Each structure stands twice: as structure tokens, then as C-alpha cells.
């Protein structure tokens, strides 16, 4: 395909993916479904007279048809401001575990049932749903400028949802984990879920007003961190949609807060030796002591910004690359969890939310229903919060930090986050 495309295009690139997924699901504490899904695809990108043509197929027996499709679409495609990479990246980021790749369906089923047994041993009235997905993939990237990239990837994804109904009170705990290697601590996952049920035994209500709010590592990773990462997307910055556009070098949040994007974390589901364009991944500081240091780019957006790609040009089969964050790491602070808690006369702790929607999400605004959170009084957790919404702006909140925890933990091996305490956020509760 590459040879044929290279005869008729100024530049051409082949992106080939073969994968096998093995999803196993449990519902209502019982095994529901086991599947094995294999797929392969080839995506061809060409640059003809300065414009991009893109076509994809799952058939490998008609290469000429794919080349013809890509060339036919090029006149209508976006203008290319970049050259494809000429150097081949090293396969130097560990992300493949043969032991995980060979894990049997029986073993996956045993893991799911064992997690359910561990949670229901705490209370047999708890109803669990479990989703396990083993993913094994191979990626090959070739282009006409000489880049040759090839790597394999494994990862195991665990998601556990556990619900307990007491009269008209429903407690639902969601947690998960992921890794590219064995062993994955599924017993620890079940233990965390049980500990949440223990904290949630007593429902309490919270009043409406401005108050201190602690985000747990999981709460921060899935509620506020995605809003923050979006603001560093090079494409959004170029379009003026990011609140950080034109703010490179500016202090925008508290000096105790630093954030980096890292595509080279060993065995992280978000780490690879290179991105979907063959550009080596890297460690990219985004915020350093509250100062905007960098944004993340693919080849196209980097060329438009006049910088080099950061190796964040991720893609799905059949789609064009786009700037996508890798593993996110928030630097640890100096305050222990006990000290953070002790300094709060009245407030809440947020562990999981439903959505982070608001009128201006691109500007960092959020309004999230507290799906699992706790009320704090005089430095102690007194019960589970019911019927509360927390809102604010992620940049204003980070500019008014009360404390940053001294221990960061990995969430699904994709986000490394400490506890964060915000001095004052709006909480809408029940009067």
C-alpha cells in the first residue's frame, strides 16, 4: 500500500492495527457474558499537492482500492502544514506483558467472581456489576520518509459497580483499575469499595453555601482533571477555545500546583513508545509551580503553532490524529491527609461525581452532582452527603488552594493525583 501510494503522493503513511479484546461481564452478582472480539484495520494518509487524504479499510486483499480512495479524497482534505517524521522511534516504553496476553477466560471469570465475593462478604445485600476487558494489540506505522514503528500493547481493565439499598436510601460505589502487566491488585480494588460502604453508612445532608471542598485522588482524576487537560490541548489553544490561549509563561494557579503529561510511564495504559504518527512520546511539563510551560500537540497543530510535536498525536483506526493527553501526573504537596482534614471546620469531601457539566465547560466551569461524598465537621467525616452539587471554575479553584496532599496515588495507572483541598467552592445542598 505504501509503495503504491508513494508513487502518486508527495508523502504517505500507513497505520495498521490488529487487536483482540476479551470482555467479561457480571450483573447482579452473576456471570452474564463472555466474548472474544478480534479486529484489524489499515488507515492510509496521503499528502497530495499540500492536502490530506485519509481512507481506511478492514480488508487487506485490495490495497489499490484503499490507495485510490485516499488519493480521491485528498483534494477535499485539510491543508497539510507538516512533514511526516523521517526517523524511526525506539520501542523503549514497556507496555506488553506476555503473561497478561495469555491470561485465560477462566482466569478472568475467576477474578470477577472473587471481587464480587469479597464485596458481598461485607454485606450480602450488596449487588455488584463487574466488567473486565483484556486487550492485546499490535501497531505498525510506516511512511514514505523512512519512519518505521512497531510495538505491542496489553492491558487489563477492571470496573466494579456495587449498590446497596436500605429503604429509600441507595448507596452506589464505582471504582476501577487498569494496567498493562500482571499482577493487577483486584483484591485491593474490592477492599477500597468495602471501605467506601463503611464510610457511607450514615447519610447526612449539607447546607447550601461556599465552603471548603476536598477532592480525593479519584474525584479529582475523573471530575476536574479532564477539564484541566482540555485547556492544554494545542488544537483548542490555536482555535482560541482554551482559557490558556495566549497565557504561555503566565502564573495562572497556585504555585504549589504542578502538572505534567507523560507518555512514557512504564506499563501505563496511556503510555506508548510513540504516538499514532510515529513521533516519540515524551514527558511534557504543562504547569510548573502554577506557571503555564507547554501545551500538547500532534504534527499538524504543532506546525501551526510553530513548535515541535510533543508526541500526543493519538488516533483511532480510520480517524485522523488529534492532540490527546497521555498519563497525567500532579505533583505532591507538603500536607498530610490528616492535616488537610483537621483544618476544615465544615465542608465536604468529593470522591465520585455524575458529570462535570456547566455553561462554559471549555472555560473550565463545572457543576457536578456529588454521587459519593462525605460531610466534614470539625475535622472529622460525619457521614455520606446526599443531594448535593458542587460547582465552580477549575482555574479559580486551583488559584485558591488550601492544601495539596503529600502523597499522590495512581488512578487506573493513568492519573497520579494527591488529595486537593480547595478553600471555597459553591455547594448546593438541602437547607
Residue 79 CA: distances (Å) to CA of 11, 55, 313: 13, 16, 17
Place of cell 477462566: 106
Which pLDDT does position 61 carry in this prediction?
86
Distance of CA 55 to the CA centre of its chain: 27
Strand ranges in 182-340 using DSSP code E only, listed in sequence order? 203-205, 209-215, 259-262, 283-288, 291-292, 313-314, 322-323, 327-330
Helix (H) / strand (E) containing 154: strand 148-166
For residues 202 and 382, is the Cβ–Cβ distance under 8 A? yes
User: Phi and psi of 268, rounded to 5°?
Assistant: -85, 140
Residue 429: per-residue pLDDT: 86
Instruction: Determine contact, residues 199/191, Cβ cutoff 8 Å.
Output: no
Task: Quickly tell me which residue has 504547569 as its cell.
Answer: 287
What span, in angstroms and rounded, lies between the C-alpha atoms of 264 and 274? Answer: 9
Tell me the longest C-alpha to C-alpha distance in the chain.
Answer: 73
Which pLDDT score, from 0 to 100, does residue 166 have? 85
Cell, residue 180: 498493562
Question: How many angstroms separate the CA atoms of 430 and 207, rounded?
Answer: 5
How many Å apart are CA 36 and CA 20, to the nearest integer? 7
First to last CA, the chain: 66
- Mode of pairing for the β-strands spanning 346-357 and 327-330: unpaired
With b for 16 or more beta-carbon neighbours within 10 A and e for fewer, the 159-188 pattern comes to bbbbebeeeeeebebbbbbbbbbbebebee
Residue 358, pLDDT score = 65
pLDDT value, residue 51: 98
E strands in 207-256? 209-215
- 61 Cβ contact partners less than 8 Å away, ≥ 6 residues apart: none
Q: Say if domain 2-198 classifies as CATH 3.30.2290.10.
A: yes
Cα dihedral sign, 99-103-108-114: negative
Distance CA 152, CA 91 (A): 9
* Nearest-angstrom CA–CA distance, 377 and 156: 39
Can you give the pLDDT of all 431 residues of the chain as single tens digits?
999 999 999 999 999 999 999 999 999 999 999 999 999 999 999 999 999 999 999 988 888 999 999 999 999 999 999 999 999 999 999 999 999 999 999 999 999 999 999 999 999 999 999 999 999 999 999 999 999 999 999 999 999 999 999 888 899 999 999 999 988 899 999 999 999 999 998 899 898 999 999 999 999 999 999 999 999 999 999 999 999 999 999 999 999 999 999 999 999 999 999 999 999 999 999 999 999 999 999 999 999 999 999 999 999 988 999 999 999 999 999 999 999 999 999 999 999 998 776 667 678 899 999 999 999 999 999 999 988 999 999 999 999 999 999 999 999 999 999 999 999 999 998 65
Query: H or E stretch including 411?
Result: strand 409-411
Domain ranges of the chain: 2-198, 202-431
Q: What are the backbone dihedrals phi and psi of residue 5, each rounded to the nearest 5 degrees, phi first?
A: -65, -35
d(CA 231, CA 362): 7
Burial class (CB in 10 A: 0-12, 13-18, 19+), 246: exposed
CB distance 30 to 129 below 8 Å: no
Q: Give the predicted TM-score (pTM) of the model.
A: 0.94
Q: What is the pLDDT of residue 355?
A: 75
Q: Which pLDDT score, from 0 to 100, does residue 122 have?
A: 96
Distance, CA of 427 to CA of 425 (rounded, Å): 6
Cα separation values, 327 from 153, 262, 413, Å: 15, 5, 8
- How far apart CA 46 and CA 67 sit, in angstroms, is 9
Amino acid at each position: 500500500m505504501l509503495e503504491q501510494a508513494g508513487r502518486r503522493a508527495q508523502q504517505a503513511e500507513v497505520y495498521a492495527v490488529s487487536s483482540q479484546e476479551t470482555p467479561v461481564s457480571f450483573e447482579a452478582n452473576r456471570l452474564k457474558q463472555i466474548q472474544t472480539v478480534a479486529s484489524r484495520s489499515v488507515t492510509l494518509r496521503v499528502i497530495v499537492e499540500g492536502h490530506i487524504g485519509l481512507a481506511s479499510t478492514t480488508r487487506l486483499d485490495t490495497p489499490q482500492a484503499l490507495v485510490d480512495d485516499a488519493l480521491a479524497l485528498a483534494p477535499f482534505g485539510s491543508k497539510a502544514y507538516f512533514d511526516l517524521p523521517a526517523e524511526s522511534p525506539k520501542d523503549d516504553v514497556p507496555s506488553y506483558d506476555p503473561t497478561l496476553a495469555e491470561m485465560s477466560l477462566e482466569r478472568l471469570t475467576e477474578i470477577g467472581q472473587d471481587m464480587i465475593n469479597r464485596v458481598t462478604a461485607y454485606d450480602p445485600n450488596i449487588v455488584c456489576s463487574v466488567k473486565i476487558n483484556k486487550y492485546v494489540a499490535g501497531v505498525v506505522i510506516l511512511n514514505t520518509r523512512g519512519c518505521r514503528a512497531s510495538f505491542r500493547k496489553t492491558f487489563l481493565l477492571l470496573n466494579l459497580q456495587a449498590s446497596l439499598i436500605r429503604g429509600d436510601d441507595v448507596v452506589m460505589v464505582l471504582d476501577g483499575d487498569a494496567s498493562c502487566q500482571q499482577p493487577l491488585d483486584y483484591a485491593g480494588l474490592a477492599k477500597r469499595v468495602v471501605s467506601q460502604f463503611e464510610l457511607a453508612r450514615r447519610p447526612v445532608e449539607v447546607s447550601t453555601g461556599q465552603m471548603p471542598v476536598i477532592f480525593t485522588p479519584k474525584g479529582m482524576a475523573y471530575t476536574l482533571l479532564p477539564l484541566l487537560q482540555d485547556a492544554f490541548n494545542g488544537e483548542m489553544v490555536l482555535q482560541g477555545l482554551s482559557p490558556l490561549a495566549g497565557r504561555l509563561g503566565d502564573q495562572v494557579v497556585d504555585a504549589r500546583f504542578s502538572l505534567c503529561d507523560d507518555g512514557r510511564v512504564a506499563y501505563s495504559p496511556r503510555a506508548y513508545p510513540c504516538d499514532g504518527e510515529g513521533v516519540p512520546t515524551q514527558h511534557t511539563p504543562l504547569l510548573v509551580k502554577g506557571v503555564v510551560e507547554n501545551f500538547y500537540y500532534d504534527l499538524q497543530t504543532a506546525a501551526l503553532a510553530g513548535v515541535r510535536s510533543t508526541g500526543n498525536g493519538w488516533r483511532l483506526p480510520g480517524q485522523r490524529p488529534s492532540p490527546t493527553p497521555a498519563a497525567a501526573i500532579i505533583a505532591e504537596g507538603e500536607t498530610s491527609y490528616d492535616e488537610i482534614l483537621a483544618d476544615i471546620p465544615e465542608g465536604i469531601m468529593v470522591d465520585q461525581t455524575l458529570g462535570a457539566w456547566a455553561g462554559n465547560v471549555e472555560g473550565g466551569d463545572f457543576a457536578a452532582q456529588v454521587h459519593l461524598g462525605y460531610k466534614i465537621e470539625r475535622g472529622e467525616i460525619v457521614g455520606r452527603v446526599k443531594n448535593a452539587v458542587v460547582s465552580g471554575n477549575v482555574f479559580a479553584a486551583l488559584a485558591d488552594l488550601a492544601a495539596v496532599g503529600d502523597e499522590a496515588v495512581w488512578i487506573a495507572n493513568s492519573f497520579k493525583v494527591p488529595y486537593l483541598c480547595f478553600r471555597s467552592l459553591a455547594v448546593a445542598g438541602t437547607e
